[in-house]
Amino acid sequence: MKAERLRAGFWRRAISLFLDAMIVFIPLQIAAAVLFALTSGHIQFAGGGINTTVCYKATGIPNDLNPPPPKNFNVAQVCKTFVFGAETARRLTVARVTKDGNATYRISESYSLDRNDQVINAWGLEWPAYLVMLAYLIALKLRKGGTLGDRATKISVVDDSLKTNLPPPLKQMTIRYTVLLGPFIVTAAIMLILARTIGTTAEDMAKYHYIAAAFVLMAPALIYYVIALVRIVRKTDPFWDRAALTAVIRSVRP
């Protein structure tokens, strides 16, 4: 009698991803804190799994900010990000906040600061960290069929075309993550091209209603992921697993 293959539900997948994010991002945040101190803030990391942010009113604004801050700005604050008490990022945000009835409008520009509160062009670790996270997920799922988070929640990615518990080969894993991340990457690329076309300053984006356009551009990808989420909640295969002929199973029962 063949074993029944039970699909993993939303919570097992979510907890697994959360645990994997902690495993990857916490060491990167600690490394970022060391690099922030060694480079006087030229390497920063504001993301990650566990951090705290403290903001306070800026005491002064440089005259040569690039890009320029919003005209007639009325808010300026410095925000510091910490992990376990060690600083990993520092930013200055200059904004113009206006109210029209019950609606509040905010236009802002942000700038990286060094440890002496001087504006710099800092190198952010956010995208490298996300790439490390992706490499970690793919490598462990290829080798073991599951990450450390998967093991803790007792789920695994398997080759569903063979109806076995073997991990999928590289080709299937490539298809899986291409279909999973494709809508996000395409949407992000279109938004980046749009931003470069209309200008990247806060005033340019407000003039051409960039935020409204961004919401319109994001709608198809958002619908795509909502439908996929519903399928996961119902314990059926989302688009990426169906395309790659893979499955996320939680247990095997005779």
Q: Over the stretch 193-248, which tens digit does the pLDDT of each residue have?
A: 887 787 767 776 666 677 777 888 899 999 999 999 999 999 999 999 999 999 99
Q: Which two tokens stand for residue 168?
A: 């999928």
User: Do 12 and 44 have their domain in common?
Assistant: no
Q: How many domains does the chain divide into? A: 2
Per-residue confidence (pLDDT) for residue 1, from 0 to 100: 37
How many Cβ atoms sit within 10 Å of the Cβ of residue 126? 15
Per-residue confidence (pLDDT) for residue 205, from 0 to 100: 67
User: Do 131 and 241 have their domain in common?
Assistant: yes
Q: Which two tokens stand for residue 195?
A: 């931003």
User: Do 133 and 207 have their domain in common?
Assistant: yes
Per-residue confidence (pLDDT) for residue 254, from 0 to 100: 43
User: Do 106 and 178 have their domain in common?
Assistant: no
Distances (CA, A) of 46 to 8, 50, 249: 32, 10, 34
User: Do 51 and 164 have their domain in common?
Assistant: no
Per-residue confidence (pLDDT) for residue 245, from 0 to 100: 94
| DSSP string covering 108-165 | EEEEEE-TTS-EE-PEE-HHHHHHHHHHHHHHHHHHHSS-HHHHHHT-EEEETTTTSS
State the distance between the two ends of the chain, measured CA to CA, in whole angstroms: 7
How many Cβ atoms sit within 10 Å of the Cβ of residue 112? 19
Q: Give the domain-ending residue among 91, 109, 125.
A: 125
Q: Give the domain-ending residue among 91, 125, 159.
A: 125
Distance of CA 130 to the CA centre of its chain: 7
User: Do 158 and 245 have their domain in common?
Assistant: yes
Per residue of the chain (254 residues), give pLDDT as tens: 345 578 999 999 999 999 999 999 999 999 999 999 999 999 999 987 788 999 999 988 888 888 888 888 889 999 999 999 999 999 999 998 888 777 777 888 899 999 989 999 999 999 999 999 999 999 888 876 689 999 999 999 988 887 777 888 899 999 999 999 999 999 989 888 887 787 767 776 666 677 777 888 899 999 999 999 999 999 999 999 999 999 999 865 44
User: Do 158 and 238 have their domain in common?
Assistant: yes
Task: Answer whether the bond into residue 67 is a cis peptide, omega within 30°.
Answer: yes
Q: Give the domain-ending residue among 125, 144, 171.
A: 125
Beta strands in the chain (DSSP E): 4-7, 43-44, 52-57, 75-83, 86-100, 103-113, 119-120, 123-124, 156-159, 246-253
Which region, left, alpha or beta, applies to residue 144 given φ > 0 means left and ψ of -120 to 50 means alpha?
Answer: alpha
Angle between helices 10-38 and 126-144 (to 10 degrees): 130
Domain that holds residue 226: 4-25+127-253
